[in-house]
Amino acid sequence: MQMYDLINKKRHGLSLSREEIYWIVENFTNGVIPDYQMSAFLMAVCFASMNEGETADLTMAMANSGDMLDLSSFGGFTVDKHSTGGVGDKTTLIIAPIVASYGVKVPKMSGRGLGHTGGTIDKLESIPGFKTALSFEEFSDVVKKCGLAVVGQTAHLAPADKKIYALRDITATVESIPLISSSIMSKKLATGADGIVLDIKVGSGAFMKNIDDARKLAESMTKTAHLAGRKCKAIITNMDKPLGRAIGNSLEVIEAIEVLKNKVRGDLYDICIELSANMLSLSGMANVEECRHLAKNAIENGTALEKLREMIKLQSGNEKVIDDYGLFKAPAHKYEVRADRSGYISSINCEECGICALMLGAGRAVKNADIDPSAGIILNKLLGDKVEAGEVIAVFYTSQNIDISEIEQKFLSSYSISDKVEKNFGIIIE
């Protein structure tokens, strides 16, 4: 086999065999195929795309490039959730305890954030003492004891994806449905869960900006999972508005705890009930409607909150943060942002809000940069809310000594205020 021939074949829109795709992935991962040829191949995929079979073969080749975890020793059904990312997305911290409270195992490997705010791992590490770097034996022990654990991904999990994504990031080949699908699903399949629920976000704060692309991605990922013998369900959700009121690491953990204390309603609560219900339903517990009631009950009776407390303790964190938010690192500075006119919040540019949080120190612009766990934004006013000129619409938190005026102006420009109430779309699209 020659890489030149396979590049040319894909460039002309022809389908590659399973053997050819595995050969490409194996030889690129091992350093036999040079970056320039792999870049040409990725560009050919961007232009000519891949069919369902090719996408599934690429996904499995990448998954098999490293460790394939066997979770059978955990006992019972294991389920995972993946979100395509968004501003204020802290759903894992809520849904994993809900699902685990019913005996369904949620062994979750998550990543760090590169961009607006930290990933799930960064959020959890804002809890004093919380350990996300566990051996598989330690990870397994936590899951067996409390039904859930959230740890960082190992370097041996789908290493082909890591190498391929590094090329995609610098060769303008990120925005390809087969490549996005295979990148995400290779890691999900390698982690070994029996079922996977996908939260595909669409809108100004999401990677997918329009509903047609979101649907194509959802279809590609679910079909790939099914071809790999896994149960899978995709839900498309609205990211034309931040999810909840908190943007930033410890701030989002606190908001998640408040949801589990049954003190919060709205979009964040609604999406967590829907995701939890679908995860429970995949396990065979009941239909989705009945599982919605189960998810709500886990919050109302406090069992989900106690599962989170148990996980924090088992992963060496200070579980007392659930009752005392003062145990989180306190920000050095607090700034109030006031509306410049009266009216109704008609739109919010999520991406710009996220960039503001990044500028405050809540995210990382480059890999391995430090994150300020106390930094972030609390939104006092959400989409559709009435606001008066001079009223506080948000509060900035940071421990950096920075000129806040530029961030404040960027944030205000992300809000549109109109004279009448605009239609406020729900969080669950389909």
Q: Which residues are catalytic?
A: 82, 161, 168, 183, 187
**How many angstroms separate the CA atoms of 261 and 300, rounded?**
8
**How many angstroms separate the CA atoms of 93 and 120, rounded?**
8
Strand partners, 199: 83, 235
Tokens of 31: 């350093």
Strands (E), 19-143: 79-83, 106-110
Strand partners, 222: none
Q: For residue 230, how many C-alpha atoms fall within 13 Å in the half-sphere facing its CB?
A: 29
State the Cα torsion 221-294-193-284 to the nearest 10°.
-90
User: By C-alpha distance, which of 430, 387, 392 is closest to 408?
Assistant: 392
Strands (E), 291-388: 333-338, 343-348, 376-379, 386-387
**How many angstroms separate the CA atoms of 190 and 72, rounded?**
13
Residue whose structure tokens are 């959400």: 382
User: By C-alpha distance, which of 410, 274, 276, 424 is closest to 353?
Assistant: 410
Angle between helices 18-29 and 159-170 (to 10 degrees): 80
Phi-psi region of 388 (alpha: psi -120 to 50; beta: other; left: phi over 0): beta
Phi, psi of 393 (to 5 degrees): -105, -15
Report the Cα–Cα distance between both ends of the chain, in Å, rounded: 44
**How many angstroms separate the CA atoms of 420 and 409, rounded?**
23
